[in-house]
Structure 1
Amino acid sequence: MSSIKIAGATVNQTPLDWSGNLNRIILAIEEAKKQAVEILCLPELAITGYGSEDLFLSYWYPKKATSQLALLLPYCKGITIAVGLPVRIQDKVFNCVAVIEDGEVKGFVAKQFMAIDGVHYEFRWFTPWKANEIIEIEFQEQLIPLGDLTFHHKNIHYGFEICEDAWRGKLRPGYQLCDRKVDLIFNPSASHFAMGKTALRKELIEESSAAFDCYYCYANLLGNESGRMIFDGEILLAKSGELLSRNRLLSFEDFQVCSFFLAPKTQKIAPIISKNEEFVQASALALFDYMRKSRSNGFVLSLSGGADSSSIAILVAEMVKRGIGELGLEDFCKKAGIKNFPISQNPEQELMKQLLTTAYQGTKNSSNDTFSSAKFLAESIGATFYHWEIDEEVNSYTSKIENAIGRKLTWELDDITLQNIQARTRSPIIWMLANINNALLLTTSNRSEGDVGYATMDGDTSGSISPIAAVDKQFILNWLSWAEKNLDRPGLAKVNSLQPSAELRPLERTQTDEKDLMPYAIIVEIEKLAIRDRRSPMDVYHILSDDLELDSATLKGYIKKFFQLWSRNQWKRERLAPSFHLDEFNVDPKTWYRFPILSGGFAEELAQLDQL
């Protein structure tokens, strides 16, 4: 085999940003040429962005994508490029890779298997291609082959598996490519980020290269492309079961090009990082992309001093720290749209004051501990910090209702009402800050609260983006302890000393989240079985009765409470702010778990538990 240089490239794209998307691809091509690359593979649907949703169904959108492909051709002289785009043929749209050789399109490879699980709904937009089928389509007044194609470069024979194609076991196209004796398989992908997923991907690429006895090159999209899914920009090369190269993931750069000679020796392998580190790096990049792509000037956060809001404050601080560290201060500010970047000796703190505005909104039910925690944390990271009391507004609302119904509200009769009005009263004024600053309001609900509806609609659920809605409360609590030490965030010391509480009841009632619900560790175990694994209440009981040291009545009570609260609170999940997909599953009905708003609430299934 000729000793040639190939490369994978990742790009941070945005749907409908036609010129920006094209320019980032061109910059990646130019960088590949500088590195003397002969074949460059860009990610799946790189021209349009993977998250284009129902735009793929229109007639004009795929047509515009092919016109962008034509604009790309002059930049492909002297190099072979593979780049993803949608192609419409009559009433069907195909997810394709265009192969361009020395400025001419040689063919389109069509994806054979659609991703339809979890966050993916590809069958809504794309039609799978049949193996071994090839047709011709017209492009620039020429007939170009489209379908199940392979190509040659010098004496190297290569083909493609497009993302999901590689995850289909014995059905995957790789086996047919092996029968055709290819030397190299490219996998252009739009594979969503989830903590721990990169280890699975590494295993797949190694096993693929061993099974097909070939080089296997993988290139993924990068960044928070269109709001919810994050792409980690992973680029891998393996040969005959051995990983040869792997890049650093979740970059703040617009693109990365990783080149390698086709030689069976290790080149550069970035380490696989811990789940805690993955969480902060992915969230930091996602927040940065969301802020700049929404053309916002920063973030506003109702900082309660508790775990959830404090974790989000740290994630914004890490966004600034990591962004400056990777891009440099001037490029970070330029990319973020910050016109007057700081020139002080501590630009990170100055930027934090500009990009994150926080407010502690106390009531007579708030404690000095949470106020101190919020103030200490905000000062430690440099965020702007305000504080005020909302008792006057709460009393105004309450007195109007009392006058209307002719009685006083009491904690014995009106517990939820009196709690919720406090949370809702905080919403209008914090939205004012967001509007004044042209900033994104950050919502603080976590996945555990989403499971059971332990959040006030139009209160603590108010916001533009919900950064931690896809991770459970137990993870957040553990991560905060890790972050205090490993991210050098001493401002978390007071946060980590507090027991989680909504602080909506009078202090003498000693309200805690776990007393209201159940231990967060139990919620995690139930939700994994009920939501992730889609188990029935009875299945959950039998599995957890073996795994947990709980008496039968207590466990049954927790399970019944979870399923009842889950089913009656779907309407809340439908209205939560968009969230990042960060874990192996989430409860966002738009991306992972659809559930009826109205249902029988597992009544028969839960009744069966009482019969045991």
Structure 2
Amino acid sequence: MRIALAQLNLTVGDLPGNEERIARSIDEAAAAGAQLVLFPELAITGYPPEDLLFKEHFLADARAAIERLAGRTRGIVAIVGFPERADDVYNAAAVLADGAVQGVYRKMRLPNYGVFDEVRYFQAGDRPMIVDVDGVPVGLTICEDLWVPGPPATDEALAGARLIINLSASPFHAGKGAERERMLQQRARDHLAPVAFCALVGGQDELIFDGHSVVLDHEGRVVARAPQFEETLLLATVDTRAAGNARLRDTRPRLAVREHRPTVETIATLTTAAPSDATGGPAAPADAPDGTVAATLDAEAEVYGALVLGTRDYVGKNGFRHVVLGLSGGIDSTLVLLVAVDALGPERVSCVVMPSRYSSDGTQGDARTLAANLGVRQLELPIQGPMVAYEELLAETFADREPDLTEENLQARIRGNLLMALSNKFGWLVLTTGNKSEMSVGYSTLYGDSAGGFAVIKDCPKQLVYALTAWRRRRDAADPVPESIVSRPPSAELRPDQRDDDSLPPYEILDAILEGYVERDLGREQLVARGFPAADVDRVIRLVDLAEYKRRQSPPGIKITPRALGRDRRLPITNRYGG
């Protein structure tokens, strides 16, 4: 069977735009000789539509779009994800063929962990289903249905399915693609059936969908793989007869069939117009690529690709034409600028150098050199004058107090005000430059460096920031980053001779403690038992807990780690449980 997987970058709520992209892909798949074309989970609405699913008119509009798409299916079967409004609302897959909706499968396994809230929105389906396409029984599943061992895929395979298809919107985190592919390989081997996994690609608020659609044979070998972070129409020819032959030789499923013969509905029996070659298989047009296996990305390339895609889509899908950021000459703003330029092009990026009395010549010079090397617009807005004005304004009130963190934060807030003024005046989106290490412990200024519209590296720990910058420097022959940006000890430069490690443990210790406390929910004693200094553990836990109110007010940012600060980790601000 020749199949096509439409790995599309769709936009939540853009029903007309999504419909048009799906329709175009149906036509392209048919022209390539595909008998069956798959689309991602909830393709017609984009994923996740969240509380849009509470709107009856939204659900009705989604169904109307599915009906129109069905009218385009002549000689090909299309399976499209959509929210079905029936007795309740279901996360569903519509089987479109011969100009009509031939049947609907309802997702049975609803995830309700991490970033998922599907139990809030959907009723679970209660039966596995098969569709017969040109004599081949095809089992239908949606995302979590295949992550969980057992039904529906098990029942469909035992009922004779020779291909299991999976429509998915699987959010990215570092290493997720490899993890997902290993799981799919195991499912293919478990069910003695080829698996076709069609995934969403693109950015949606804090979530990134990396694509990485894949087709596997019944032994778990990769037949075709789509690239990460790119739209593509992946074509593959699947030998469904080989799966049947393997089942004749492998008798293990027979007992399961005898003891638990599943009742699996065949919702439609369909015939396509796919031409056949002399061997009885589908004949592909000569120029249609088949069985492309895209290379997988290394760790840094994968994360950097996610940051670029997430920035590009957040800016573009929300209607911004230009972005601006404060460029300090430090490693964090350097990485954000590199990502912004790669995502949007230098002509759509401006940076602002805002020196104070504590800014060193080295950092300011590096900032200007980096901006010039990347070809972005550079603005100079010294903040010494506003600082003096604030000091004079507050002099009487602060007369009996020594300078402290208050004056440091005033500098950051002046800079935040200037960036927001540029945003207001020119319609630019402000990119913030704080990393996960700083956000976790509150090493940032509320309404200062945290002020902005999108936090590009919000989920990147400090050590990862250095690794990503190093990878980006190696990528191109012309390295735009001055070496001193990387080698200089990190500093906020808000007081004389300030260094981050004056206020925080060294980042190699801090990041390791944060990984245990924030991402794995380890307690104090567990962290100390792992060899971390008790004083550092106590200090970090206290800082993380105190900073929850700051994080609630920070802009959205791209999810990179398995547990991001945002929709992944939900802790009460008013909370007296420590550690």
TM-score (norm 1): 0.84
Q: Distance in 2 between matches of 1:497 and 1:525?
A: 21
Given candidates 71, 86, 90, the residue that maps to 1:89 is 86
The amino acid of 2:10's aligned partner reads: Q
DSSP-derived class of the 1:272 partner: coil
The amino acid of 1:184's aligned partner reads: L
Corresponding residue of 1:503: 493
The amino acid of 2:569's aligned partner reads: Y
The amino acid of 1:379's aligned partner reads: A
Q: Distance in 2 between matches of 1:267 and 1:72?
A: 27
DSSP-derived class of the 2:101 partner: strand
Given candidates 383, 402, 407, the residue that maps to 1:390 is 383
Corresponding residue of 1:193: 172
Corresponding residue of 1:112: 108
Corresponding residue of 1:316: 340
Given candidates 572, 576, 589, the residue that maps to 2:550 is 572
Q: Residues 196-207 of structure 1 correspond to what in structure 2 (within 5 A)?
A: 196-207=175-186
Corresponding residue of 1:343: none
Would the aligned equivalents of 2:300 and 2:467 in 1 still touch at CA under 8 Å?
no
Corresponding residue of 1:121: 117
DSSP-derived class of the 2:81 partner: strand
Would the aligned equivalents of 1:568 and 1:598 in 2 still touch at CA under 8 Å?
no
Q: Distance in 2 between matches of 1:60 and 1:110?
A: 20
Q: Distance in 2 between matches of 1:189 and 1:533?
A: 26
> Does residue 1:460 correspond to 2:460, yes or no?
no
Corresponding residue of 2:372: 379
Q: Distance in 2 between matches of 1:18 and 1:532?
A: 36
Q: Post-superposition shift, 1:489?
A: 5.2
Corresponding residue of 1:552: none
Corresponding residue of 1:168: 148
Q: Residues 4-153 of structure 1 correspond to what in structure 2 (within 5 A)?
A: 4-90=1-87, 92-130=88-126, 132=127, 148-153=128-133
DSSP-derived class of the 1:107 partner: strand
Q: Distance in 1 between matches of 2:120 and 2:3?
A: 34
The amino acid of 1:521's aligned partner reads: E
Give percent identity, aligned residues only: 27
Would the aligned equivalents of 1:280 and 1:318 in 2 still touch at CA under 8 Å?
no
> Does residue 1:410 correspond to 2:386, yes or no?
no
Q: Distance in 1 between matches of 2:95 and 2:506?
A: 54
Q: Distance in 1 between matches of 2:234 and 2:360?
A: 53
DSSP-derived class of the 1:96 partner: strand
Given candidates 501, 515, 528, the residue that maps to 1:528 is 515
Would the aligned equivalents of 2:324 and 2:351 in 1 still touch at CA under 8 Å?
yes
Q: 1:557 to 1:487 in 2, by over 3 A?
A: farther
Given candidates 296, 312, 318, the residue that maps to 1:272 is 296
Given candidates 273, 297, 300, the residue that maps to 2:324 is 300
Q: Distance in 1 between matches of 2:121 and 2:388?
A: 52
Q: Post-superposition shift, 1:515?
A: 2.1
Would the aligned equivalents of 1:234 and 1:249 in 2 still touch at CA under 8 Å?
yes
Q: Distance in 2 between matches of 1:286 and 1:298?
A: 15
DSSP-derived class of the 1:50 partner: coil
Q: Distance in 2 between matches of 1:600 and 1:9?
A: 49
DSSP-derived class of the 1:420 partner: helix
The amino acid of 1:381's aligned partner reads: L
CA distances 1:11-37 after superposition (whole Å, capped 9, x unpaired): 111122121111110111111011111
DSSP-derived class of the 2:72 partner: helix
Q: Post-superposition shift, 1:89?
A: 2.5
Would the aligned equivalents of 2:304 and 2:468 in 1 still touch at CA under 8 Å?
no
Superposition RMSD in Å: 1.6
Q: Residues 200-279 of structure 1 correspond to what in structure 2 (within 5 A)?
A: 200-224=179-203, 226-240=204-218, 241-251=220-230, 255-263=231-239, 267-279=291-303
The amino acid of 2:513's aligned partner reads: I
Corresponding residue of 2:465: 476
Q: 1:7 to 1:286 in 2, by over 3 A?
A: same
Q: Distance in 2 between matches of 1:385 and 1:502?
A: 21
Question: What is the aligned residue count?
Answer: 529
Would the aligned equivalents of 1:194 and 1:581 in 2 still touch at CA under 8 Å?
yes
Q: Distance in 1 between matches of 2:468 and 2:309?
A: 18
DSSP-derived class of the 1:393 partner: helix
DSSP-derived class of the 1:161 partner: strand
Q: Post-superposition shift, 1:445?
A: 0.9
Q: Post-superposition shift, 1:456?
A: 0.2
DSSP-derived class of the 1:7 partner: strand
Q: 1:280 to 1:489 in 2, by over 3 A?
A: farther
Given candidates 392, 397, 401, the residue that maps to 1:399 is 392
Q: Post-superposition shift, 1:85?
A: 0.5
Would the aligned equivalents of 1:283 and 1:315 in 2 still touch at CA under 8 Å?
yes
Q: Post-superposition shift, 1:259?
A: 1.2
Corresponding residue of 1:428: 417
Would the aligned equivalents of 2:3 and 2:235 in 1 still touch at CA under 8 Å?
yes
Q: Distance in 2 between matches of 1:276 and 1:7?
A: 30
Greater CA deviation, 485-494 or 533-542? 485-494
Q: Post-superposition shift, 1:406?
A: 3.7
CA distances 1:246-275 after superposition (whole Å, capped 9, x unpaired): 011111xxx421111113899321111111
Q: Post-superposition shift, 1:87?
A: 1.1
DSSP-derived class of the 2:49 partner: helix
Corresponding residue of 2:541: 563
The amino acid of 2:495's aligned partner reads: R
Q: Distance in 1 between matches of 2:107 and 2:501?
A: 48
Q: Distance in 2 between matches of 1:153 and 1:42?
A: 16
> Does residue 1:365 correspond to 2:344, yes or no?
no
Q: 1:601 to 1:512 in 2, by over 3 A?
A: farther
CA distances 1:89-145 after superposition (whole Å, capped 9, x unpaired): 23x311000011222211111111112222111111112222x3xxxxxxxxxxxxx
Given candidates 485, 503, 511, the residue that maps to 1:516 is 503
Corresponding residue of 2:435: 446
Q: Post-superposition shift, 1:376?
A: 0.8
Q: Post-superposition shift, 1:405?
A: 4.2
The amino acid of 2:487's aligned partner reads: S
Greater CA deviation, 454-463 or 12-21? 12-21
Q: Distance in 2 between matches of 1:74 and 1:237?
A: 27
The amino acid of 1:404's aligned partner reads: T
Given candidates 450, 473, 494, the residue that maps to 2:484 is 494
Greater CA deviation, 425-434 or 458-467? 425-434
CA distances 1:63-97 after superposition (whole Å, capped 9, x unpaired): 2111111111221121100000111223x311000
Q: Distance in 2 between matches of 1:513 and 1:76?
A: 60
Q: Post-superposition shift, 1:211?
A: 0.9
Q: Post-superposition shift, 1:601?
A: 4.9
Q: Distance in 1 between matches of 2:142 and 2:546?
A: 40
DSSP-derived class of the 1:359 partner: strand
DSSP-derived class of the 2:92 partner: strand
CA distances 1:171-201 after superposition (whole Å, capped 9, x unpaired): 3421111111100011100001112111111
CA distances 1:193-233 after superposition (whole Å, capped 9, x unpaired): 11211111111121111111111000111111x31111112
Would the aligned equivalents of 2:139 and 2:157 in 1 still touch at CA under 8 Å?
no
Q: Distance in 1 between matches of 2:551 and 2:355?
A: 26
Would the aligned equivalents of 1:563 and 1:601 in 2 still touch at CA under 8 Å?
no
